[in-house]
Amino acid sequence: MPLAKTEPRAIWRQGWLWPALHEPSPNCGPRPPGTAIDLALVHSISLPPGRFGTDAVRQLFTNTLDPDAHPYFERLRGLEVSAHFFIRRNGALWQFVSADERAWHAGKSRFQGRDNCNDYAVGIELEGLEGETFEPPQYRTLAWLCRALQARYPVRHITGHEHVAPGRKHDPGAGFSWSRLAHDLADSGLRIETRVQP
């Protein structure tokens, strides 16, 4: 369900967040010992691309996607990926991996001189298509989630997949309003980084 306008209190249990809907993914593992979880990494995804409201993203992250169900899915056959969180168009929040664990969302990536963002980032997927716009409930849930992460972990920065894997990834894309997210988080102390990482 979408988060209510009167937002509930965030409750963490072993890296799982209430009131997110939990759907554990097998595509995860331990973070390197002593790693500070200090980055929120924003992505976008829809399956098939540009089609919203399907169950395919959940199926992809839980290794239950039928590659024969749609021609596009054939290229995803055998792919093992996940993100910690998924925010649907209506603002509903799903969680697939404990934030204490390492989800498989960033691939080859680099942020502020550190490789392998999966080690220290929380991956947040927005239901959408790179370059296209996102819905107001998604921004509200994303801002709430970033504050909840900040309260539990030493998260200090927020950036996009396109910024940590330039040329390889392009999400969330030009349709995502970083200025809107910055406005929603203006009093949080969180830093939004939109420079492409070398």
Summarised one tens digit per residue, pLDDT across range 76-109 is 999 999 999 999 999 999 999 999 999 999 999 9
The answer to the question of residue 73 being in a domain is yes
The answer to the question of residue 4 being in a domain is no
**What is the per-residue DSSP string for the chain?**
-BPPSSPPPPEEETTEEETSEE---S-EEPPPTT----EEEEEEE-SSTT--S-SHHHHHHTT---TTSSGGGGGGTT-----SEEE-TT-BEEE-S-TTSEES---S-EETTEE-GGGTEEEEEEES-TTS---HHHHHHHHHHHHHHHHHS---EEEEHHHHSBTTB--S-TTS-HHHHHHHTTTT--EE--SPP-
Q: Write out the two tokens for 12.
A: 């963490």
The answer to the question of residue 70 being in a domain is yes
The answer to the question of residue 3 being in a domain is no
pLDDT at residue 157, as a whole number: 98
Under 8 Å between Cβ of 164 and 40: no
d(CA 112, CA 142): 23
The answer to the question of residue 145 being in a domain is yes
Average pLDDT value for residue range 177-198 = 94
The answer to the question of residue 9 being in a domain is no
pLDDT digits (tens, 9 = 90+) for 23-79: 999 999 999 999 999 999 999 999 999 999 999 999 999 999 999 999 999 999 999
| Catalytic positions | 125
Q: Inform me whether the pLDDT recorded for 5 exceeds 70.
A: no
pLDDT at residue 197, as a whole number: 76
pLDDT > 90 in the chain, percent: 92
Under 8 Å between Cβ of 34 and 149: no
What's the total number of domains in the chain?
1
pLDDT at residue 4, as a whole number: 65
Note down the domain range covering 110: 18-192
Enumerate residues 6+ apart whose C-beta is below 8 A from 131: 170, 173, 174, 175
Q: Inform me whether the pLDDT recorded for 1 exceeds 70.
A: no
Average pLDDT value for residue range 170-181 = 97
The answer to the question of residue 197 being in a domain is no
pLDDT at residue 99, as a whole number: 98
pLDDT at residue 6, as a whole number: 60
Task: Write the CATH number for 155.
Answer: 3.40.80.10
pLDDT at residue 8, as a whole number: 73
The answer to the question of residue 136 being in a domain is yes
